[in-house]
Structure 1
């Protein structure tokens, strides 16, 4: 049974034209990053640049490329793309009981760090997924609200490399799904009064937890849709 069964579509982004920044998404910065545009303490080379997110052909494409900025730790930054409902006019937040799902095309280049996640502040983060191509068969799923995590061994992606990844945000368990199949139940869930903004981004690893890119060529990550059922 699909996790959306019995729920109504409450919010959806299919990245179709016309698209106006600021209404539902912002792309300039995130409060999750110490400096808004970058956060060198968290093992990333990111420097968020609004121009690194492109909406076209019914999808959002995030591009990372070596940048001109130097991070506070002395490492050379990569310009990266991020979108968030935080700071938008609509200000959409997920809440307990929601099922959120994204259809994504994962990158193959080592050093890429794509993710879909939630944020308001510490204690509100749920990682729908994080992915590192140096471990190509693993998806990382984490609950930072009540601290639980898992790695799911994924099979071949769907047609043309696309996958559906989602999480049902219960108060007693957060349940993760890949291509509609249940892969992990954490038995922890989120607080009854929990809520958080949605984020989608492509980060670049700084080499501490995962290798840095071996190439200076641009890296891309695409998202076809983000949908919320409640």
Structure 2
């Protein structure tokens, strides 16, 4: 265990995955087996999402949502599950991401993992009605932290680092360690990445008001390091070896 405030790990290790959100080989847009039947909707998880493959909703790294006439919201989602490269994060990997948080009430951004009906780690979730709070969760072995931070605010930028340890998943926010769950993911864990902007339906967090015509959050970069791996970087084939196929359990999922 590293002392609180220690420098995040992995920066000197090779980047085995560098996100290119415009790459159809890396990412599938607008569907995910974390949603029932792969989507496009998931009302059972208190979401107004209607997932769309339109590149304007995700492929630039700006994840958007706009209202539909039926009361749902067209929403952007990208996942590595089902892509040609099929990248998966694994035990021991370190993920780094820089994100701009949304401002609109009802927005629900997340970076998370999923495979075979579970294997979910929430790198972060955010709701602007709790303006200074990030939700950090390990659903593999059930550990959670509501982290309040004056640097966390609607429209603000946050640097996230997560180490997916076998015995402890550790989160850093803007370079400071804020949570070590002491539960971990186990030695053989692997899961696909999901980045998306959901829209709250109002049960746990307020739904968007009628005046809201668009919401967005941005991911400036997302990288995965694999300490001890001796390759020269890359993404796809590393994700496939030694794991099962794409999970189709279609549970509630959704980063929450």
TM norm. shorter chain > 0.5 = yes
1:157-176 equivalent positions in 2, closer than 5 A: 161-176=156-171
Structure 1 counterpart of 2:216:
220
State the number of aligned residues. 216
Higher strand share: 1
Q: Cα deviation per residue 1:182-204 (whole Å; 9 max; x = unaligned)?
A: 10000000021110000100000
- After TM superposition, the structure 1 = structure 2 runs for residues 1-230 of structure 1, keeping only pairs within 5 Å, are 1-15=7-21, 19-21=22-24, 23-35=25-37, 36-51=39-54, 52-56=56-60, 60-69=61-70, 76-156=71-151, 161-214=156-209, 215-230=211-226
Give yes or no for contact 1:3–1:180 (8 Å, CA) kept in 2.
Answer: no
Instruction: Tell me which residue corresponds to 2:237.
Output: none
Deviation at 1:172, TM superposition (A): 0.5
Contact 1:14 1:224 in 2 (8 A): no
Using the alignment, how far apart are the partners of 2:58 and 2:46 within structure 1?
25
Greater RCO (CA < 8 Å, at least 6 residues apart):
2
Unaligned 5+ residue runs, structure 1?
70-75
Structure 1, residues 69-125: CA drift from partner, whole Å, max 9, x if none? 4xxxxxx21110000001100000000000112111000111000000000133300
RMSD: 1.7
Q: Report the secondary structure of 2:123's partner residue.
A: strand
Tell me what 1:73 maps to: none
Q: Distance in 1 between matches of 2:110 and 2:30?
A: 17
Check the 8 A contact 1:86/1:197 in 2, yes or no.
yes
What TM-score do the two structures reach when normalised by structure 2? 0.80
Tell me by how many angstroms 1:5 deviates: 4.0
Partner-residue secondary structure (3-state), 1:86: coil
- Deviation of 1:151 after TM superposition, in Å, equals 0.8
Other-structure match for 2:254:
none
Distance 1:157 1:216, change over 3 A: closer
What SS class does the counterpart of residue 28 from structure 2 fall into? Answer: coil
TM, length-normalised to structure 1: 0.89
CA distance in 1, matches of 2:169, 2:117: 18
Q: Deviations over 1:47-77 (max 9, x none)?
A: 0011252444xxx1111111134xxxxxx21
Deviation at 1:14, TM superposition (A): 4.9
